[in-house]
Amino acid sequence: MNVQDYYTDSDDDSEYELSDNSDMSDSDETYSETGDDELVENVTMDEWQVLSDPFSDQVPRATQNFSSEYTFHPAIDMEECRDPVNCFECFLSPNIVAKLSEWTNRRAEMYFEQNTNTRTVYGVQWKKLEKEEMYVFIALHILTGLVKCPRITDYWSNNILCAGPKVFNKSIMSRNRYLSILKFIRFSPPEAARNNAPLSRLGIYMSMLKDNCKTLVDPGPVFAIDEHLMLYKGRLHFRQYIKTKRNRFGIKLFAMCPSAPHLRGYTWNFCLYVGKDNFNVSHIPGTGNLTVSDRIVVHLAQNILNSGREVILDNWYTSVRLSQFLLTQGTYLTGTIRSNRGVPAQLTRIPLERYQSCFVRKDMQLLVRYKDKKDVYLLTKQELQCKYIITIR
């Protein structure tokens, strides 16, 4: 068949490599391929249609009306958010801080009930923690991440060579009071903590924080989902080691971010990886055959399903199966895809020279194969195949 030459910039294949994390691999996914049947132009094979005319492919889709600004939610007073403190409280709201104070006080009470012979911690009589004092503790704790000292106690040192900023003084919060709060601080009801359920210690706090992140912003029609490894070298059974990352040890975080220009860098939804079983989407019909990487996407995107929005993924997540499921949920997918994730055999067997492209279509799914140093596959929902024909060289 005739395949037209189209030239475009090549991408570095390194960004499409799978992270070195055996616990999260999708090696269980297998797809059967067809035999060596002769390819016939514009003939449907396994419901995929090979396309040779780039201007003949027009598949309209229903369009949704979204706000053109994609900034703060209309109910949010932007003038108040210009103040740094008010902006901070939009995310770590007074309600969250009040809960942290309540749970910390409850943990301290449980400690002293078990140790009836003392009422002191670090030589300081424990007193009830109020919301205002918790804000001071949080501010100092954030500052310890910006200004590094060898030990926590050094921030209150009188030695000018190793002391922290001047805000670390007794008039704001004493060293022992800070350490006692650090000992008892909890992010969930202390009586609900279970050793075999890591999120029982963080789940409520994270849910409240995520709700604030999603409420504050009108996100727009397009999202990107990817992973991030937060540096952490402590003792934690769900700590990850990924040698290809800059921070090789850490806690894996999956984030969903809007692509609107005003919101780049904003995390709209997120979840921690503590095991394969923490992405529960069983309440959504049709998710029974999804793999771990599929469920991660559905778990993060469940609040935008059936709204006509689109998610952008890399080839660790993208599969034809996931795309078909999202289409049943009124959501579109665009992303690079590996050849063993449901790519039809007729697309992989079309002979191409370097910088050539070929296309196959199945309903609202368009698969593109582009040959550079290696074959790059793209799965998208775009209505017009010719949108991908860009001559640069």
Residue 256 confidence (pLDDT): 94
- Residue 316's pLDDT is what? 92
Q: How far apart are CA 269 and CA 253, in angstroms?
A: 10
Whether 380 and 291 map to the same domain: the answer is: yes
Answer yes or no: is 348 within a domain. yes
Q: pTM value?
A: 0.77
Same domain, 93 and 67: no
Q: Are both 323 and 389 inside the same structural domain? A: yes
Q: Quick one: pLDDT band at residue 38, thresholds 50, 70, 90? A: very low
pLDDT tens by residue, 158-190: 888 888 888 999 999 999 999 999 999 999 999
* Domain range enclosing 351: 1-71+224-393
Spatial separation of the C-alpha atoms in residues 326 and 99, rounded to whole Å: 36
**Do residues 106 and 176 both lie within one domain?**
yes
Q: What is the pLDDT of residues 9-37, one digit of tens each?
A: 334 434 333 334 434 444 333 333 333 33
Domain boundary among 141, 173, 192: 192
For residues 58 and 37, state if they share a domain.
yes
Q: How far, in Å, CA of 27 to CA of 384, rounded? A: 33
What mean pLDDT, rounded, does the chain reach?
80
Distance from first CA to last CA of the chain, Å, rounded? 24
- Residue 198 domain flag: no
Examine residue 38 and state whether it is found in any structural domain, yes or no.
yes
Same domain, 63 and 98: no
What is the mean pLDDT of the segment spanning 136-146? Answer: 94
pLDDT number for residue 40: 32
Beta strands in the chain (DSSP E): 44-45, 48-51, 120-121, 124-125, 222-231, 240-241, 249-258, 269-272, 310-313, 332-337, 357-362, 365-371, 375-380
In a shared domain, residues 291 and 352: yes
- Is 200 a member of any domain? no
Alpha helices in the chain (DSSP H): 78-81, 84-91, 94-114, 131-146, 175-184, 203-216, 292-301, 320-328, 345-349
Kind of pairing between the strands at 365-371 and 375-380: antiparallel
**pLDDT number for residue 103:** 96
What pLDDT, on the 0 to 100 scale, is given for residue 390?
A: 46
Distance between alpha carbon 10 and the CA centroid of its chain, in Å?
26
Based on the number of CB atoms within 10 Å of its own CB, is 167 exposed (0-12), middle (13-18) or buried (19 or more)? middle
Residues 76, 81: Cα–Cα separation, whole Å: 8
Other CB atoms within 10 A of residue 173 CB: 18
User: Does residue 165 sit in the same domain as residue 282?
Assistant: no
Are 371 and 291 in a shared domain?
yes
Tell me the three state secondary structure of residue 13.
Answer: helix
Point out which residues pair with 229 in neighbouring strands. Answer: 252
By three-state DSSP, how is residue 278 classified? helix
On whether both 363 and 272 belong to a single domain, the answer is yes
User: For residue 251, what are its two tokens?
Assistant: 């806690």
**What is the model's pLDDT at position 379?**
93
Q: What percent of the chain has pLDDT over 70?
A: 78
Distance CA 181, CA 118 (A): 16
Residue 215 lies in a domain: no
Residue carrying the six token digits 């601080």: 185
Amino acid 26: pLDDT? 40
Query: Pick from 192, 215, 237: which residue ends a domain?
Result: 192
- Say if 131 falls within a structural domain: yes
The stretch 317-343 carries a mean pLDDT of 93
Count how many domains the chain has: 2
Tell how strand 365-371 and strand 269-272 pair up.
Answer: unpaired
The residue among 192, 213, 243 that closes a domain is 192
3-class SS of residue 137 = helix
Q: Is residue 116 part of a domain?
A: yes
Separation between Cα atoms, residue 72 and residue 123, nearest integer Å: 46
One domain for residues 228 and 320? yes
User: So what's the pLDDT on residue 159?
Assistant: 85
Please indicate, yes or no, if residue 197 is contained in any of the structural domains: no
